[in-house]
Structure 1
Amino acid sequence: MNSNDTSIGNAGCHQSIITVDDVSFFYENKQVIEHLNFTVLERDFVGLIGSNGAGKTTLLKMIVGLLKPSQGEIRLFGQPLRTFRDWERIGYVPQKNSLNPLFPATVREIVLSGLYGKKNMFRRISKAEQQKCEDALYAMRIEDLASRRIGQLSGGQQQRVFLARALINNPQLLILDEPTVGIDAETQAGFFRMIRHMHQHHHITFLLVSHDMDMVQSYIGNEPAQKSGALSFYVKHTHEPENCKETNLTHSIQQLREQMEVLV
């Protein structure tokens, strides 16, 4: 496909989760993204590949509302980005988190904050939600760090915390910008086993930026579904019903635990 194609997949009856319509972005008079069009469908797994400076992180920041397109429109779940308010439906892990090392929150508090939005920020956390937190901590192998201050952790440990925070609310759309940078190879492998399971068996759509070509292509293929400038979009569709009765994070983490026990 070329940059004028408006859909990565065959939409059929599947909801459009992300729609980028003729979007361009300029940074200090330099055009970073030019007339980009694409649609990510419900339950797609999209790998976004590009060289440094190609606009990968810029595009993700526009999708989550941190940057405004210089031209064109972005829609989330069919709603124009300017009016979209259901941010709890989206999990986002940026490439690097700007964090004050003196910030007083603990790891557990940071992860639990993923359950809060403007609509429910003052409510009490339930026992079930506390268990979601413990599961997310376990999935990222940071349960032993739960009481530590976030500013006391290494960069790799902090990234695991923010991954857990993004996963805890069981998002419908999970956006990951180099999610495993600074994480050891064993944890990387476990994390990708988990998100593959979540994609195959649950109603979650993924948009992933990664420099690990082998890892991305081993799951979503060697040929991009679409190219635009220096950006390449690799896509795997999972639009057929699967046989998992459970659809939440706890179930996926249980699958991960079983896989890890086999490997030991």
Structure 2
Amino acid sequence: MKRNETAAAPCHQEIVALDRVSYAYGTQQVLNGVTFTARERDFVGLIGSNGAGKTTLLRMIVGLLKPQQGQIRLFGTPLDRFKDWHLIGYVPQRSHFNPLFPATVREVVLSGLYGRRKLLRRITKGDADRAEDAMKTLHISDLAEKRIGALSGGQQQRVFLARALINNPKLLILDEPMSGVDSETQTNFFHLLRHMHQHHNLTFLMVSHDLEMVLSYLGHEPKETSGKLAFHVRHSHDLEDCAETDLLHTLRKEG
């Protein structure tokens, strides 16, 4: 098949598959038989009440917790055999971040390159260039030497997003990325996410407390429900915009 024919084909690759996933903290069952599949270029909004297991589910998908029952597949590979963690970018809740952590913005962004098998390796010039590109992309280059704890909430979120994007991931997982920031910052941040979804080969899985903003893009009717969770999904078919595969390069060029 020619390259242009491949680019024109709809994308249906399985990115995240949840098959009857359950998890409990002691006697408190937070997830019970959750089943859902996110496919390539889906933007998935994960909606549920407090205690519905949204963050727990995200932590399982990124390998921080193991399902007690059921199976998770990432890019078609069972979670317990998955090794390509560079394909996944993760932006956790800001509440999990210690504002006194003694690291600069540059160091936090570079830490996104410290994969599970690269923790002790030296930073190369290519790594430094990649971090510089990520900071330029998110318009935080002028903050590079500042301590992360000295930044505003909106600035911190841009740093964490730059950290998540530095490996050019195919899946971006965001856990309430706009929590604790002002409405203008929330709007600008979500506009950036929408742009990334519409113009790049990237799949999103996001938990957000701002239902109005998320549902205005994804639709008010969930595509699927499972247990206490609702999955709102919007799929992008703008494959003609995906000729450039380096996400950071094209985001900076278009910005």
TM-score under structure 1 length normalisation = 0.83
SS in 2 for 1:243: helix
Partner residue, 1:245: 243
In structure 1, distance between residues paired with 2:102 and 2:133: 23
Q: C-alpha displacement at 1:196, in angstroms?
A: 1.6
Partner residue, 2:4: none
1:22-41 equivalences in 2 (<5 Å): 22-41=20-39
* Residue type at the aligned position of 1:253: R
Checking the alignment, whether the CA contact within 8 Å between 1:156 and 1:181 is kept in structure 2 is no
* Residue type at the aligned position of 1:195: L
Checking the alignment, whether the CA contact within 8 Å between 1:224 and 1:232 is kept in structure 2 is yes
In structure 2, distance between residues paired with 1:100 and 1:184: 20
Q: C-alpha displacement at 1:223, in angstroms?
A: 0.8
Identity within the alignment, %: 62
Checking the alignment, whether the CA contact within 8 Å between 2:201 and 2:239 is kept in structure 1 is no
Q: C-alpha displacement at 1:148, in angstroms?
A: 1.5
Q: C-alpha displacement at 1:123, in angstroms?
A: 4.7
1:81-120 equivalences in 2 (<5 Å): 81-96=79-94, 98-101=96-99, 103-120=101-118
Q: C-alpha displacement at 1:156, in angstroms?
A: 4.8
Partner residue, 2:164: 166
**1:216-240, Cα deviation, whole Å (9 max, x unpaired):** 1121111100112221100011245
**1:127-176, Cα deviation, whole Å (9 max, x unpaired):** 5x545433433444433321022344455543332122012222100000
Segments of structure 1 that go 5 or more residues without pairing to the other structure are 1-11, 258-264
Distance 1:88 1:234, change over 3 A: same
Partner residue, 1:51: 49
Checking the alignment, whether the CA contact within 8 Å between 1:110 and 1:165 is kept in structure 2 is yes
**1:52-75, Cα deviation, whole Å (9 max, x unpaired):** 111110110111111111211111
Partner residue, 2:225: 227
- For these two proteins, the number of residue pairs brought into alignment is 244
* Residue type at the aligned position of 1:61: R
In structure 1, distance between residues paired with 2:188 and 2:169: 19
Distance 1:240 1:251, change over 3 A: closer
In structure 1, distance between residues paired with 2:133 and 2:188: 14
* Residue type at the aligned position of 2:204: F
Task: Identify which range, 245-254 or 67-76, moves more after superposition.
Answer: 245-254
RMSD: 2.3
Checking the alignment, whether the CA contact within 8 Å between 1:106 and 1:148 is kept in structure 2 is yes
* Residue type at the aligned position of 2:124: I
Checking the alignment, whether the CA contact within 8 Å between 1:132 and 1:250 is kept in structure 2 is no
SS in 1 for 2:145: coil
Checking the alignment, whether the CA contact within 8 Å between 1:194 and 1:252 is kept in structure 2 is no
* Residue type at the aligned position of 1:235: V
Q: C-alpha displacement at 1:97, in angstroms?
A: 5.5
TM-score under structure 2 length normalisation = 0.85
1:190-229 equivalences in 2 (<5 Å): 190-229=188-227
* Residue type at the aligned position of 1:251: T
In structure 1, distance between residues paired with 2:242 and 2:157: 29
Partner residue, 2:6: none
**1:168-190, Cα deviation, whole Å (9 max, x unpaired):** 22210000001122333333333
Partner residue, 1:80: 78
Checking the alignment, whether the CA contact within 8 Å between 1:99 and 1:151 is kept in structure 2 is no
